[in-house]
Amino acid sequence: MTSSAVAYEYHMPVNIQCTTTPAVLMPGDEALLAIEMQNGAASYGVGKDSGSGSTAQSSILSTPINKTVLKGTPYLKVLTEDYKNLGMIGPNDKITAYYKIKASENITSGTYLLNFQVQGGYDMITINREIPIKVDSATVNMARAESSTSKQSFNLNVANPRENTLNAVTIIPSAKGIKFSPDEYYIGTMDPDEVFTISFSLEAADRSKQLKGDNNISFTAKFKNGDTWHQS
């Protein structure tokens, strides 16, 4: 009787995709990173029987996800603990690990890479991926619009130069001796590259006086990038 040795080699076919909310961070931002892991076995088959007298075959197997590790950098801190024993994912099934991350106040614009590891499969294989995180320090832009014919009003262009949407955008004017109406202008959501033209009415804070000459007017923009408030 002739015997043959059979060795089984299992490769963990986990496809990894990620999304960040907000899509582009600013210095000081907290963000939610969602890392989706999908069992890709059904897409291209896994498993290989090799040995004397055997034929290579594709197998469709469930994959255990034993551990995930996300490593921060000096400028991007990972706030969430790593995951353990996430369970089994069948062919084409998905599981998502959520990590909170925080950008430092002195981070510069650019794309940063976080090292992500997922350990799983019956052979405890570790897969390494680099997760790109975009950072842009650009803020709300404000510039005087076409001059009004009246000294009692001021028109302002407000623009979002960023790649991502900003929320709760509010413009607050200030000047010594001047009362504004409205006292602040709520724009709300601003999509990338969107521009709003807004207008303020001006009058002397002391109603017994009139506005004369040139006045120094400043504007402050408050807005949210994701869940983090900013001011410029």
Choices 3.20.20.70, 2.60.40.10, 2.60.120.380, 3.20.20.150: CATH for 141-231? 2.60.40.10
Angle, CA of 97, 101 and 106, to the nearest 5°: 160
Same CATH fold, 141-231 and 9-135?
A: yes
Pick from 160, 185, 186: which is nearest to 173 by CA? Answer: 185
- What is the spatial distance between Cα 101 and Cα 24, in angstroms, rounded to a whole number? 12
pLDDT tens digit at each of 232 positions of the chain: 433 343 334 455 678 899 999 999 999 999 999 999 888 765 544 444 433 333 333 344 777 888 999 999 999 999 999 999 988 888 778 899 999 999 999 999 999 999 999 988 777 788 899 999 999 999 999 999 976 666 688 899 999 999 999 999 999 999 988 899 999 999 999 999 999 999 999 888 777 677 666 778 899 999 999 999 999 8
What would you measure as the largest C-alpha separation in the chain, in angstroms? 115
| Peptide bond between residue 192 and the one before it cis (omega within 30 degrees of 0) | no
User: Do 125 and 48 touch, CB atoms closer than 8 A?
Assistant: no
So what CATH class is 9-135? mainly beta
Domain ranges of the chain: 9-135, 141-231
Pick from 114, 119, 120: which is nearest to 99 by CA? Answer: 114
